[in-house]
Amino acid sequence: MFKTENISTVAAWLHHAQHIVAFTGAGISTPSGIPDFRSSDSGMWATVDPMTVASIYGFRHNPQAFYDWVRPLIQLTHDAKSNPAHLALSKLEQINKLDAVITQNIDMLHTRAGNKTVYELHGHMREATCINCFHIHDGMVILEKFLEDGKVPHCVKCNGIIKPNVILFGEQLPIVELQNAKKVARNSDLMLVIGSSLEVAPASDIPVIAKQSGAKIVIVNLEPTTLDSMADIVIYGDAAEILPAIVQSLEQLT
Ligand code: APR
């Protein structure tokens, strides 16, 4: 169970801060039924080698292995609902207490929760691109058909292989999203870092940029992270419980 005094301290920091940014990872979506990657018991990397199934080299070599691996994640994401942690961040944006969400997640649950300014550093599934002619397809249409037939999708234009617009290991992050994320991190005076092991760069550089720019760092995570030592407060626990408690405490201050 988390310490309630930390909740009220973070709420007070939120009350006084001018430029607040949230940085999220897969842990914010586990309460929505989507597994994360590195949780010791249930993470998706516990059973497969990410470089084989989720790198751009692995994809080009064997796209069926990628699609077989990602199929349950696509189904879960398709059916998932935003959870109280996502809704707490949406509430913060509504009351002008959140400039942006920077997320590593591809599940689009921040947008579904109502957040308008969301930087998706590792892409999303709204679009899918042919790796041969680069024709852009509607990702939802492509993935619905894949969930039905289980077949690697091919391009209507050139019959090339289609890849969802998610960033695989070995791929560049979307430059505009990354630049926007760095800009709001540099401008922030408070960053909430939620549900990430902070093990994957360059995304994990974002909280460091915020810290170096003078922001207070609050980490909310079930397990210790690689950046706990630089955080101003670390709250160990379930984001779906902690974030609503922080927002509730903040609302008592306003
Ligand atoms: N509340 C708070 N923290 C949680 C919760 C929860 N309900 N559920 C899980 N966590 C924590 C886990 O303890 C873990 O430390 O969230 C963290 C998730 O870490 P990862 O599984 O490593 O996910 P993430 O940090 O988002 O991974 C970054 O790695 O594999 C790539 O591209 C993939 O975007 C992903 C990137």
Mean pLDDT, residues 212-239: 97
Mean pLDDT, residues 202-228: 97
Instruction: Output 39 or 204, whichever has higher pLDDT.
Output: 204
Q: Which domain holds residue 238?
A: 1-34+82-122+173-254
Q: What is the pLDDT of residue 46?
A: 85
Residue 39 DSSP symbol: -
Structural domain tally of the chain?
2
Q: Is 58 in the pocket of ligand 1 (CB under 6 A)?
A: no
Q: Are residues 154 and 234 in the same domain?
A: no
Q: What is the pLDDT of residue 112?
A: 97
Q: Are residues 225 and 153 in the same domain?
A: no
Q: What is the pLDDT of residue 40?
A: 80
What SS3 class is residue 207?
A: helix
Q: Is 223 in the pocket of ligand 1 (CB under 6 A)?
A: yes
Q: Are residues 74 and 147 in the same domain?
A: yes
pLDDT in tens, 52-95: 999 999 999 999 999 999 999 999 999 999 999 999 999 999 99
Q: Is the pLDDT of residue 2 over 70?
A: no
Mean pLDDT, residues 201-228: 97
- At 71, list the tokens: 């199929």
Domain holding 105: CATH number? 3.40.50.1220
Q: Are residues 133 and 225 in the same domain?
A: no
Tell me how far the alpha carbon of residue 102 lies from the centroid of ligand 1, in angstroms: 14
Q: Is 36 in the pocket of ligand 1 (CB under 6 A)?
A: yes
Q: What angle do CA 64, 65, 66 make, to 5 degrees?
A: 90
Q: Is the pLDDT of residue 1 over 80?
A: no
- At 173, list the tokens: 């992050």
Find residue 163's DSSP bridge partners: 129
Q: Are residues 235 and 200 in the same domain?
A: yes
Determine the angle formed by the axes of helices 139-149 and 63-79, rounding to 10 degrees: 110
Tell me how far the alpha carbon of residue 197 lies from the centroid of ligand 1, in angstroms: 5
Ligand 1 pocket test, candidate residues 36, 73, 89, 119, most atoms within 8 A of CB:
36
Task: Give Dmax (Cα) for the chain.
Answer: 60
pLDDT in tens, 90-145: 999 999 999 999 999 999 999 999 999 999 999 999 999 999 999 999 999 999 99
Q: Are residues 91 and 193 in the same domain?
A: yes
Tell me how far the alpha carbon of residue 157 lies from the centroid of ligand 1, in angstroms: 37
Any catalytic annotation for residue 61?
Answer: no
Percent of the chain with pLDDT over 70: 99
How far the first Cα of the chain sits from its last, in Å, is: 26
Burial class of residue 1, CB neighbours in 10 A (0-12, 13-18, 19+): exposed
Q: Are residues 233 and 108 in the same domain?
A: yes
Cα separation of 62 and 67, whole Å? 9
Nearest alpha carbon, ligand 1 atom 17: 196
